[in-house]
Amino acid sequence: MSQDITIAIVEDDDHDREKLKKCLHRYSEENALRIHIREFSDGEDLVTDYSADYDLILMDIEMRFLNGMKAAEKVREMDRDVLLIFITNMPQYAIEGYKVRAMDYMLKPLSYFSFAESMNRALPRIREDEKEYITIALKGGKMRLEVDRICYVEVQDHDIIYNTRDGKFISKGTMKELESQLDSDKFCRCNRCYLVNLDYVENYQGTDVKVNGDLIQVSRGRKKAFLDALNYYMNTKN
């Protein structure tokens, strides 16, 4: 059965970009993959209205407007898990890739053998990634959030505030839309405006529940349903 993989190519040299595409098409045929390629001629083009749905980004380091290293830093602000491979003819630059958690680098001029070796290292990491994500719209692009890292979500007017292990992120939407995206066995409303990840509940006392260090009020009308959901989750998650 074929696997679908979405890959971004970020390369300002037309010849090098075509060579990368040929390598990808050959690799996909040899490994029974369906590869969807999106092309960018500069790092600025990638990060402007960034779409957080790539499995892998192949990015040149030296580009005219926004180089690969700077672009990678901006990508990591919105997508902490996408695999990143740098392409360069100056390997000393690629060594800095650890700062943005690049998994590998390819040296120019690119040979298919070295390309395939790098892809062979990347492919298992794509296949083993069973994390669940939701994509949220932010100003200037989209961000991919790992569901297990969301502690709780708060709705204020038309703003949705995601409180996560990695900080707070504000998007637009409604509680109804949000509930349809998240597992109802794991996420439960404790009042009209808060949706809690039961995995981060530390304790319950009086009318408040402590979630990842923050106190959130449990409304009278939702108290029984919330406590029932919490007890069931705690008793079944292990």
Both 123 and 10 in a single domain? yes
Both 93 and 190 in a single domain? no
Both 110 and 179 in a single domain? no
**Tally of domains in the chain:** 2
Element (H, E) at 3: strand 3-10
Mean pLDDT confidence for 130-135: 80
Both 117 and 200 in a single domain? no
Q: Which residues contact 233 (CB under 8 A, 6 or more apart)?
A: 185, 186, 188, 198, 199
Could you tell me whether strands 104-107 and 83-88 are parallel, antiparallel, or unpaired per DSSP bridges? parallel
CATH of the domain at 55: 3.40.50.2300
Lowest mean pLDDT among 19-33, 39-53, 92-106, 139-153: 92-106
Mean pLDDT confidence for 180-195: 92
- What gap in Å lies between CA 9 and CA 200, rounded to an integer? 38
The whole-number pLDDT of residue 175 equals 86
Place of tokens 């439960």: 188
Q: Which sign does the torsion angle of CA 181, 3, 5, 56 carry?
A: positive
Q: Is the pLDDT of residue 167 over 50?
A: yes
Residue 137 lies in a domain: no
Both 7 and 123 in a single domain? yes
Of the three residues 93, 127, 161, the one that is the final residue of a domain is 127
The whole-number pLDDT of residue 62 equals 87
Using an 8 Å Cβ cutoff, are 85 and 58 in contact? yes
Q: Is the pLDDT of residue 1 over 60?
A: no
Mean pLDDT confidence for 81-91: 88
Please report which confidence band the pLDDT of residue 124 belongs to, taking 50, 70 and 90 as the band edges: confident
The whole-number pLDDT of residue 29 equals 94
Both 204 and 120 in a single domain? no
Residue 159 lies in a domain: yes
Both 117 and 155 in a single domain? no
Residue 132 lies in a domain: no
CATH of the domain at 215: 2.40.50.1020
Lookup: tokens for 54: 């790539």
Of the three residues 127, 159, 190, the one that is the final residue of a domain is 127
Residue span of the structural domain in which 65 resides? 3-127
Residue 138 lies in a domain: no
Residue 139 lies in a domain: no
18 vs 78 pLDDT, higher one:
18
Share of the chain above pLDDT 90, in %: 59
Q: Is the pLDDT of residue 196 over 90?
A: yes
- What gap in Å lies between CA 31 and CA 112, rounded to an integer? 14
Mean pLDDT confidence for 137-162: 89
Residue 38 lies in a domain: yes
pTM of the model: 0.70
Mean pLDDT confidence for 15-23: 96
- What gap in Å lies between CA 230 and CA 16, rounded to an integer? 54
- For 199-222, the pLDDT digits (tens) are 999 998 889 999 999 999 999 999
130 vs 153 pLDDT, higher one:
153
Of the three residues 127, 160, 179, the one that is the final residue of a domain is 127
